[in-house]
Chains A and B, each alone.
Chain A
């Protein structure tokens, strides 16, 4: 009997002490933001840079006093770019850590995999380099309410290329050569044609081939008939190199333009001199003058160059989110969502950010134009599209 009383007393004491400790003055309140990022695995090269850049942005915001006096706290979890792992860590972020928003992931597949979790919990998510259109717009065409992205969608590169050809290259006539078996290629071509025709240009031919084909001379022969000023070839570097060689063999002198699929240095080995002078659209370039201060800060803190483009996107996402929290005046998920969607003319690292509320994509996001010159990629300019 005696021992039972003793145990009860001890239990009461423990209970009281734990209650008392809970009454201690609380830590200063922080704004918790989740970072879903591939810190290990095949995408780690980009993921590490992405996380580093995010911390750089957070340090800056916190050093300037945080958001309305509250410091930002980043809770980063490794997704390994794996869908299942990502779903688990996003659950942990929203259920245990109670983050107010999530930055990342960089992979479209991962963003789609976690969509259900962050949307049912009403926690806004800003994908960094997920370029597939379906990340923010569901199959039925409705916008995914709590998912945003800070990068442009793939097909937008077609719009950039179309307007660049018209405005900067002064092209009047253009042709496209694309892969009918590849969604990326097909949509880039479609957006290019729309942008080029809208700007008053003429499309002389839009020729397709099937994935795996090696010989495009028949299609190029037909393209040559229309004598276009530029040919848009939205493919990977393999097809681009073959098409460039074959086009030059056929005596086609038109300027060639591509998308970010070209950005693999072996294009110079594969295409030889045929690719010289060609332009392509990319997400980012080290020589971009607008990011030089960021690069300096990054090198100073981490002693290495960041791996583009992911760090630029996580940095911009943080600036965007901080602005939205300020405007919303709260960290409530729905209020934050509305503020994110209503973002307009916000100065971020890579330019001016405006969000299209109908699809949660950035409007007229700046893109980088690079040129294949003397066997390497050279930065030409940062191009901003117009409506």
Chain B
């Protein structure tokens, strides 16, 4: 029972982690919470639906790559439309956040207006999905998603640490102004940043579409991922991963706990948000964070 719960928690947490990385990546350089990330994830899932179900019947892997590319481009466009002029005017973080919320609502409503509120399923990757492991059951799709998430995050870490662009991004996360003074094209850098964050978001969207379903308000779940990112410390990649997985585990464990015979599953969000509040009191920067100012 407890083993099964931990497996469930890990599989939910790994999706949170993948989404949380997108928040942290943008926050680390631009110092604001990109609330349009949820919409990018949703659109990524819709790209997958278009190429796997609606228009073409592509197999999973090519569809995944196309969706990642598509979501990356959408994230890049969101930056160009909603943030770049604010960035050039050196607007305060609050303006970015409001702009991001506006984009999130606008993109979601574009979906409602064009494709509609219908629910869609993406075809399963594995015909027989579960593997028996002692008394517990593991879903193959979960393992697959878990593996892919790790691979993607490893690739991201490699890009950040061993490429020129990555080095520039890391430098910019310390001091963006100094980096641009030193001759790095900041626009270019931010474009790469959003492409990467968007691609990871697209991947999360496709996994969500396969595991659950595709619908316009599916980006709602990114609220949880955002909490994961804050728990881990916004701006920190390891923090986002640990925070996301931790949140998934805590949620799963709370769901099956009882206090004095009262099941806690109905209080799940009370606990996860309570945990967040408590952590921010004890450790305002999150588990791995370093910025203290403007943590919005």
Instruction: List residues of chain A with CB under 8 Å of any chain B CB.
Output: 180, 205-210, 212, 214-215, 217-219, 221-222, 225, 237-238, 241-242, 249-251, 266, 269-272
A23, chain B: closest CB distance, angstroms = 62
**The 3 residue pairs across chains A and B that have the minimum distance between CB atoms:** A218-B255, A214-B212, A218-B252
**Is A210 within 8 A of B268, CB to CB?**
yes
Do A208 and B265 touch (CB < 8 A)? Answer: yes
Question: Contact check: which of B9, B211, B215 meets A218 at CB < 8 Å?
Answer: B9
A217: which of B8, B129, B263 is its contact (CB, 8 Å)?
B8
Sample of 29 A–B contacts (CB below 8 Å): A207-B263, A207-B265, A210-B266, A212-B220, A214-B212, A214-B213, A215-B8, A215-B211, A215-B212, A217-B11, A217-B252, A218-B251, A218-B255, A221-B4, A221-B5, A221-B8, A221-B256, A222-B255, A222-B256, A238-B215, A241-B119, A241-B213, A249-B137, A249-B139, A250-B137, A251-B132, A269-B120, A270-B213, A271-B121
Instruction: Please indicate the chain A residues that have their CB under 8 angstroms from the CB of B265 in the complex.
Output: 207-209, 218-219, 222
Further 14 A-B residue pairs, CB within 8 A, beyond A209-B268, A237-B119: A208-B265, A208-B266, A218-B256, A219-B255, A222-B1, A222-B265, A225-B1, A238-B213, A241-B213, A242-B212, A250-B4, A250-B137, A251-B137, A269-B121
In the complex, which residues of chain A have a beta carbon less than 8 angstroms from the beta carbon of B119?
237-238, 241, 266, 270
Which residues of the partner chain B approach A269 to less than 8 Å between Cβ atoms? 120-121
Chain B residues engaging chain A, CB cutoff 8 angstroms: 1, 4-5, 8-9, 11-12, 118-121, 124, 129-130, 132, 137, 139, 208, 211-213, 215, 217-218, 220-221, 251-253, 255-256, 263, 265-266, 268-269
Contacts of B124 in A (CB 8 A): 272
A79 to chain B, nearest CB (A): 25
Given contacts A207-B263, A266-B118, A270-B119, contact A221 B215 (CB under 8 A): no
**Residue of chain A at shortest CB distance from B270:** A210
Instruction: Count A/B pairs, Cβ under 8 Å.
Output: 83
User: Which one of B4, B12, B218, B269 contacts A215 once the chains associate, using CB atoms below 8 Å?
Assistant: B12
Flag if B263 contacts A249 (CB, 8 Å).
no
- How many angstroms between the C-alpha atoms of A247 and B255 in the bound complex? 16
* Closest chain B residue, CB of each to CB of A223: B256
Q: Is the CB of B208 within 8 A of A214?
A: yes
Residues on A with C-beta less than 8 A from B213 are 214, 238, 241-242, 270
Report the bound CA distance from A215 to B218 in whole Å. 12
Alpha-carbon separation in the docked complex, A259 to B266 (Å): 21
Partner of B5, one of A210, A218, A270: A218
Q: A225: which B residues are within 8 A, CB to CB? A: 1
Residues of the B chain whose Cβ atoms lie less than 8 Å from the Cβ of A221:
1, 4-5, 8, 256
* Distance in angstroms between the alpha carbons of A250 and B138 in the assembled complex: 8
Whole-angstrom distance between the alpha carbons of A222 and B264 in the complex? 12
Residues in B with CB closer than 8 Å to A210 are 266, 268-269
Chain A residue nearest to B132 in the complex (CB): A251
B40 to chain A, nearest CB (A): 18
Contact A180 B266 (CB under 8 A): yes
Question: In whole angstroms, what is the CA distance A3 to B124 when docked?
Answer: 94
With A250-B130, A272-B121 known as contacts, the answer to whether A214 contacts B266 (CB < 8 A) is no
Tell me, in angstroms, the Cα distance from A269 to B221 when the chains sit together: 22
Distance (whole angstroms) from the CB of A266 to the closest CB of chain B: 6
What separation, in Å, do the CA atoms of A221 and B255 have in the docked complex?
10
Q: How far is the CA of A53 from the CA of B218 in the complex (A)?
A: 41
Chain B residues within 8 Å of A237, by CB? 119
* Residues from chain B with Cβ under 8 Å of A241 in the complex: 119, 121, 213
List B contacts of A208 (CB < 8 A).
263, 265-266
Q: When chains A and B are docked, how far (Å) is the Cα of A237 from the Cα of B252? A: 23
Complex Cα distance A222/B220, Å?
25
Question: In the bound complex, how far is the Cα of B136 from the Cα of A251, in angstroms?
Answer: 9
For A207, the chain B residues whose CB sits under 8 A away are 255, 263, 265
Nearest opposing residue in chain A for B1, CB measure:
A225
Q: CA separation between A215 and B145, bound complex, in Å?
A: 15
Taken together as a complex, chains A and B put the C-alpha atoms of A78 and B8 apart, in Å, by 52
Smallest Cβ-Cβ distance to A242: which chain B residue: B212
For residue B11, which residues in chain A have a CB less than 8 angstroms away from its CB?
Answer: 217
Name which residue of chain B comes closest to A224, CB basis.
B4
- Chain B residues with CB under 8 A of A250: 4, 130, 137
C-alpha gap A324/B139 in the complex (Å): 60
Give A208's nearest chain B residue, CB to CB.
B266
Chain B residue at minimal CB-CB distance from A211: B220
Across the interface, which residues of B come within 8 angstroms of A212, CB to CB? Answer: 217, 220-221
